[in-house]
């Protein structure tokens, strides 16, 4: 299937579950294993629903508004560059979070945020429905597994290792954004 | 095998962008709370982690970027933008940090990443690798990192001779270098893209 590797890697980098592990663990501290698992399930289901909603809903809306592939690529590219900046310079401090974290912020924006939605739109505009669908499935499963194993991964890679990975992900997300943006602009002019 | 002139051509820009002197104020601040043994550990950890990240990009960077269809030009532009923003922060005198993390002595942020091995170094390493091959860039990286570790090791002497003001001036000057390199990366990337 065309663009499958590209889509999976891009979506994974943009969602950045590895870099988000410290934040995730901060969110679920004080929960036992069962609570964590059920929270994770709810969050994943919500994120999946959101991504699929955008994947299927966007096509009709864009068609209706006469928005073309290039327009989506320009906007998505800019969004991804901004996301890269946020991943690199954004604060790691977290605002006070309530008890119920499953939908916000875990489901959105941590799992399904602006960056992943933009990536989904770009993928569906370029490759049709099948590729982004498979990518979403693969990355969501991997992400679920990573969050489930988060404490182990944290002790394996260390806080520093995760920060390094987060910075690499920021670079990759920003350059992916620039690439998409330039293709979009090239298509428009 | 190793052409001396080419090696210099690779090693000098790499060392300038890695720029270990800029990290010295951060390093001095952190090491004040440490005894000598932990201090050398800190210097080792800082250099090694920056080394690993850059080595990763030298050897695996290109195929990894190919996988998501990112061209070198796009990577140069993105790194240039991020580097420019770091340089602007340094120029205005605020200490260059990325995320507002609490400092602890085990941290490699911001010294190793993104100061030693930041977007500028990574982009430079990839561009140099494409032009000269991985072997020579890796050799230049090893040299740069050995020099950095040496500088961290002798930071007291260097700080003594350069004085705090000297280091601050150097940081401002380096931020200009960084900004210039960033703009070069962006403009070259855009020109190559056409």
| CA B111 – CA B108 distance, rounded (Å) | 6
Give the sign of the dihedral formed by CA B111, CA A16, CA A9, CA B192. Answer: negative
CB contact set of B79 (below 8 Å; sequence gap of 6+) = A171, A174, A175, B119, B120, B122, B123, B185
Contact (CB, 8 A) for A1 and A126? no
Optimal mutation site among B69, B118, B127, interface A, most CBs of chain A within 10 A? B69
pLDDT digits (tens, 9 = 90+) for B36-68: 777 788 888 888 888 988 999 999 988 889 888
Q: Is the pLDDT score of A170 beyond 60? A: yes
Residues of A in contact with B109 (CB under 8 A): 160, 163
Optimal mutation site among A83, A115, A178, interface B, most CBs of chain B within 10 A? A178
Q: Quick check: B68 and A164 CB within 8 A?
A: no
| CA A167 – CA A88 distance, rounded (Å) | 6
Q: Quick check: A160 and B108 CB within 8 A?
A: yes
Q: Is the pLDDT score of A75 beyond 50? A: yes
DSSP designation for B22: G
Question: Within the 111-140 window of chain B, which residues sit less than 8 Å (CB to CB) from chain A?
Answer: 113-114, 119, 122
Q: Is B99 on the interface with A (CB under 8 A)?
A: yes
**Chain pair A-B, CB pairs under 8 angstroms:** 92
Q: Is B96 on the interface with A (CB under 8 A)?
A: no
What are the domain boundaries of chain A? 4-188
| CA A178 – CA A85 distance, rounded (Å) | 12
| CA A114 – CA A105 distance, rounded (Å) | 13
Q: In chain B, whose CA is at the least distance from the CA of A189?
A: B194
Q: Is A91 on the interface with B (CB under 8 A)?
A: yes
| CA B56 – CA A115 distance, rounded (Å) | 25
Q: Is the pLDDT score of B183 beyond 80? A: yes
Q: Which two tokens stand for residue A75?
A: 């906007």
Q: What pLDDT score was predicted for residue B106?
A: 60
Confidence band, pLDDT 50/70/90 cuts, at residue B188: very high
Burial status of residue A91 (CB atoms within 10 A of its CB: 0-12, 13-18, 19 or more): exposed
Q: Describe chain A by its helix, strand, coil percentages, rounded to 5.
A: 85, 0, 15
ipTM surpasses cut 0.90:
no
**Whole-number percent of chain B with pLDDT over 90:** 35
Residues of B in contact with A92 (CB under 8 A): 99-101
Contact (CB, 8 A) for B114 and B178? no
Question: A152-156 — which CB contacts under 8 Å span 24+ positions?
Answer: A153/A18, A153/A21, A154/A21, A154/A22, A154/A25
pLDDT digits (tens, 9 = 90+) for A85-105: 988 887 655 555 666 788 888
Contact (CB, 8 A) for A22 and A161? no
Residues of B in contact with A163 (CB under 8 A): 99, 101, 108-109, 113
Q: Is A115 on the interface with B (CB under 8 A)?
A: no
pTM here is: 0.88
Q: Is the pLDDT score of B105 beyond 80? A: no
Q: Quick check: B74 and A176 CB within 8 A?
A: yes
Q: Average pLDDT in the A123-151 region?
A: 93
Query: Which residue bears the tokens 């100061």?
Result: B115
Q: Is B92 on the interface with A (CB under 8 A)?
A: no
Q: Average pLDDT in the A157-178 region?
A: 88
Strands (E) in A47-104, as ranges, are none
Q: Is the pLDDT score of A157 beyond 70? A: yes
Q: Is the pLDDT score of B162 beyond 80? A: yes
Q: What pLDDT score was predicted for residue B158?
A: 85
Peptide bond into B43 cis (omega under 30): no
The Cα of A7 is separated from the nearest Cα of chain B by a number of Å equal to 7
Q: Is the pLDDT score of B101 beyond 60? A: no
pLDDT digits (tens, 9 = 90+) for B134-151: 999 999 999 999 998 888
Torsion of the alpha carbons at A109, A114, A116 and A117, rounded to the nearest 10: 120
């Amino acid at each position: 299937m065309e663009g499958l590797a590209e889509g999976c890697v891009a979506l994974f980098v943009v969602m950045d579950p590895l870099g988000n592990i410290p934040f995730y663990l901060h969110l679920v501290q004080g929960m036992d294993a069962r609570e964590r698992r059920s929270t994770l399930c709810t969050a994943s289901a919500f994120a999946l629903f959101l991504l699929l909603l955008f994947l299927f809903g966007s096509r009709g809306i864009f068609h209706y508004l006469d928005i073309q592939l290039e327009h989506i690529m320009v906007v998505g590219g800019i969004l991804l560059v901004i996301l890269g900046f946020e991943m690199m310079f954004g604060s790691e401090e977290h605002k006070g979070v309530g008890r119920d974290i499953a939908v916000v912020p875990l489901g959105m924006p941590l799992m399904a945020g602006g960056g992943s939605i933009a990536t989904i739109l770009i993928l569906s505009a370029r490759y049709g429905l099948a590729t982004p669908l498979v990518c979403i499935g693969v990355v969501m499963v991997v992400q679920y597994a990573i969050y489930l194993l988060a404490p182990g991964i944290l002790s394996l890679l260390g806080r520093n290792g995760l920060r390094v990975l987060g910075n690499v992900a920021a670079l990759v997300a920003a350059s992916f954004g620039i690439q998409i943006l330039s293709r979009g602009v090239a298509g428009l002019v | 095998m190793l052409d001396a002139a080419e090696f210099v051509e690779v090693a000098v820009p790499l060392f300038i962008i890695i720029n270990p002197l800029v990290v010295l104020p951060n390093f001095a601040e952190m090491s004040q709370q440490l005894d000598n043994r932990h201090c050398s550990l800190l210097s080792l950890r800082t250099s090694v982690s920056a080394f690993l990240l850059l080595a990763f990009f030298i050897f695996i960077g290109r195929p990894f970027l190919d996988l998501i269809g990112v061209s070198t030009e796009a990577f140069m532009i993105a790194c240039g933008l991020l580097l420019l923003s770091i340089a602007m922060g340094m120029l205005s005198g605020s200490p260059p940090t990325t995320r507002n993390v609490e400092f602890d002595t085990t941290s490699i942020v911001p010294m190793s990443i993104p100061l030693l091995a930041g977007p500028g170094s990574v982009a430079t390493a990839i561009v140099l690798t494409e032009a000269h091959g991985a072997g020579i860039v890796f050799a230049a990286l090893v040299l740069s990192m050995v020099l950095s570790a040496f500088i961290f090791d002798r930071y007291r002497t260097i700080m003594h001779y350069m004085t705090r003001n000297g280091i601050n001036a150097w940081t401002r000057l380096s931020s200009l270098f960084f900004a210039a390199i960033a703009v070069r990366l962006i403009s070259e990337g855009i020109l190559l893209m056409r």
